[in-house]
Structure 1
Amino acid sequence: MARAWEADPSALFERRLGKSAEELGNSDGNDECPDIWRLDNGDVAVIGRDLTAVYGPRLPQGVNLAPDERLVVIPGNMLSAAKKDIPDA
């Protein structure tokens, strides 16, 4: 059965949404790189800490993770900084 939406692995990174982790003080410039990017097909890529194992067992009712999905966490100030770059629905 086909899914209603499927990620396109051929999509390319187009532009950062918001500010970089370094600009927001969320990185020391080494390996800490949470980020939000718009892909050239309109999808959004989020780089964050994989906390699937921690949050998976306590997801709210009606929220599910497919075996090929991961729950990632990013700093709240990163999403707030991206607000101006995210179009209204």
Structure 2
Amino acid sequence: MKIARRYGISPAQRGGASGQSCPDILRLENGGYLVIGKTPGVPNLSARDLAKHGASIGPDEQAVVVSADVIHGAALEIAKEQR
């Protein structure tokens, strides 16, 4: 798996102290996306709450929380690519 590009601005441009901290959204060469964020923790995210919204987390998956500014910045660039 190789990274093709970053979406949005870098953590350093968003004011990350080390310039290397998450969150981030990257496009993979295979067309998928790599989302880097903080794990919400079991007490804050229940399977029951996910199920109410038709969602679940499989045994080979992990949920992360990514801030709105990262998602919005990436979404604008992704939308431009789709045109």
Q: Normalising by structure 1, what TM-score?
A: 0.73
Contact 2:25–2:35 at 8 Å: present in 1 too?
yes
Indicate whether 1:43 and 2:35 are aligned: no
Per-residue CA distance 1:32-88 (angstroms, 9 max, x = gap): 321100000110000000125231333252211101111101111011111232134
Q: Matches of residues 6-85 of structure 1 in structure 2 within 5 Å?
A: 11-25=1-15, 27-29=16-18, 32-53=21-42, 54-57=44-47, 58-61=49-52, 62-85=54-77
CA change 1:63–1:52 in 2 (3 A) is: farther
Structure 2: 5+ residue stretches without partners: none
Q: Normalising by structure 2, what TM-score?
A: 0.78
Which residue identity lines up with residue 18 of structure 2 in the other structure?
G
Deviation at 1:31, TM superposition (A): 5.9
Whose helix proportion is higher, 1 or 2?
Answer: 2
Structure 1: 5+ residue stretches without partners: 1-10
CA RMSD of aligned residues (A): 2.1
The percentage of counterpart residues that share the same residue type is: 32
Q: Distance in 1 between matches of 2:19 and 2:9?
A: 17
